[in-house]
Amino acid sequence: MEKTFHQENRHTLYLSLTPGSVLLLFSGHAPRKTGDEDYPFFADRSFVYYTGVEQADGVFAAVKDSHGTQEMLFMLPSDPMAERWTGKRFTPAETEALSGISDIRPNFSFVPFLERLLSDGITTVYLDFERKSAAEQPVRPAFRMAAWLRQYYPGIHVENVNHLIRRQRTIKKPCEIEAMRYAETITRDGILAMMRASRDGMYEYQYKAEYDYALAQRGVLVPGFPSIISAGKNNFCIHYYGYRGQAHDGDMVLNDVGACWDNEINDVSRGWPVNGKYNERQRLLYNCAYNTSNHMFATLKPGVPMYRVDQEIREYNFLQLKDAGVCDRFEDIGTYMWHGGSHHVGYDVHDLVDVEGGKRLIEPGMVFCIDVGIYHEEWGIGFRLEDNCLITEDGCENLSVVTPRSIEDIEDYMAKR
């Protein structure tokens, strides 16, 4: 992303902050893995959304008063010995080029800066209290900062800025959609590589190796999220990461994967037969999912409540399964549909957005998945068909259409191996 993207994001956020306040966002730090080894560092997504900087132990501060907003970044300072071991750190000039922030300071000066600020008229500190659960470990920097403020500056008002961040991230800008389109082509190439290599006796880790290699050849060294690649009975674990199973003729391969480009992630699922030819039951169930997906892309448009997306997927897919003689009553749909049919994508694969519990009407610029999963344990068939839906001014667009999705297209491609 160009620095103007991050600048515009920050300026939009500032409009909702009160004078006499400071906003603090943290890039985070890689937790320890074992011994003297850390997990790979992964910068906080909202920190990157507002700064464009991906480096550990960074702090973004924006001080708002009646005259405007002063912004600064506290970054790891140059340290030749440390950089010899762990790699080059951003210089102030490089940080400014990424973020558009000219006031770059060493991160050891952050606490003294904040102490002076809190003693000089600041009344409110905005923090991003985003976490998966109350017991999440390790404790995120915003929560540690809030505890520090309660102990040493109990008179300071602490405000959660997370809902404002979610609101901004809900609507994608043109540059984000452009990055998503390119990411879709990389994901497609990874899926096609798996289809080309597919054969009886192939292990799941071999499919994964094909996918990872295709991405790496296109400059994507790490997928947007841990790849779900399974075959046969392992398809009945929704989030499966074992990669040890073996695929055989008669099995379907399930993939739920996505590349990340310029911090934008997509999420695409396809299910195809190991031998390249759907059998009668596989064809029956896949057509139910395919028809449901096509129905959604033909009908979605601005003004539909977000909660109706998931409901419509379940209701329409039930009708398909009923016509196929698989499911007689809607009350039994949970036997074959095990998960929701939609989630937003963006800087996170399950993007942090604000849809007001599903009540918010969908709008142009939203991007979310249409995810139709069917799991028939008795027949040993489990798969999902998942595409990324961009809401336009008068309808929607399937961003994932670049990846073969119909039975005919998948079989034709696999027949050319």
For residue range 221-231, what is the model confidence (pLDDT) as tens digits? 999 999 999 99
Q: How confident is the model at residue 404 (pLDDT cuts 50, 70, 90)?
A: very high
Residues 261 and 352 both lie in one domain:
yes
Number of separate domains in the chain: 2
Taking the alpha carbons at both ends of the chain, their separation in whole angstroms is 37
Gap between the Cα atoms of 252 and 262, Å rounded: 32
Residue 116 has pLDDT above 90, yes or no: yes
- Total residue count of the chain as it appears in this document: 417
Q: Which of 133, 149, 169 is the last residue of a domain?
A: 169
Residue 273 belongs to domain with CATH number = 3.90.230.10
Residues 165 and 23 both lie in one domain:
yes
Residues 142 and 227 both lie in one domain:
no
Residues 352 and 234 both lie in one domain:
yes
Residues 160 and 199 both lie in one domain:
no
Residues 175 and 149 both lie in one domain:
no
Residue with tokens 């440390």, as numbered in its chain: 82
Candidate from 131-140, 258-267, 307-316 with smallest mean pLDDT: 131-140
H-run or E-run covering 264 = strand 264-265
Residue 203 has pLDDT above 90, yes or no: yes
CB 334 within 8 A of CB 318: no
Buried residues in 38-73 as b, exposed as e (16+ CB within 10 A):
eeeeebbbbbbbbbbbbbbbbbbbbbbeeeebebbb
Encode pLDDT of 142-183 as tens digits.
Answer: 999 999 999 999 999 999 999 999 999 999 999 999 999 999
Residues 210 and 90 both lie in one domain:
no
Residues 188 and 159 both lie in one domain:
no
Quote the mean pLDDT of the chain: 97
Percent of the chain at pLDDT exceeding 90 = 96
Residues 180 and 83 both lie in one domain:
no
Residues 180 and 94 both lie in one domain:
no
| pLDDT of 201 | 97
Encode pLDDT of 42-84 as tens digits.
Answer: 999 999 999 999 999 999 999 999 899 999 999 999 999 999 9
Residues 314 and 352 both lie in one domain:
yes
Encode pLDDT of 335-354 as tens digits.
Answer: 999 999 999 999 999 999 99
Encode pLDDT of 247-306 as tens digits.
Answer: 999 999 999 999 999 999 999 999 999 999 999 999 999 999 999 999 999 999 999 999
Q: What is the pTM of this model?
A: 0.95
DSSP 277: -
Residues 155 and 237 both lie in one domain:
no
Q: How confident is the model at residue 136 (pLDDT cuts 50, 70, 90)?
A: confident
DSSP 137: S
Residue 132 has pLDDT above 90, yes or no: no
Residue 128 belongs to domain with CATH number = 3.40.350.10
Q: Which of 131, 150, 169 is the last residue of a domain?
A: 169
- List, in order, residues 6 or more apart from 35 with CB less than 8 Å away: none
Q: How confident is the model at residue 24 (pLDDT cuts 50, 70, 90)?
A: very high
Nearest in space to 22 (alpha carbons), one of 122, 143, 140? 122
Q: Which domain does 369 fall in, by range? A: 171-415
| pLDDT of 134 | 79
Q: How confident is the model at residue 111 (pLDDT cuts 50, 70, 90)?
A: very high
Give the Cα-Cα-Cα angle 169, 294, 311 (nearest 5 degrees).
60
Query: In the Cβ-directed half-sphere of 122, how many Cα atoms lie within 13 Å?
Result: 26
- List, in order, residues 6 or more apart from 306 with CB less than 8 Å away: 342, 355, 358, 359, 360, 361, 362
Q: How would DSSP label each residue in 351-393?
A: -----GGGTSBP-TT-EEEEEEEEEETTTTEEEEEEEEEEE-S
Q: Which of 104, 134, 169 is the last residue of a domain?
A: 169
| pLDDT of 417 | 81
CB 239 within 8 A of CB 164: no
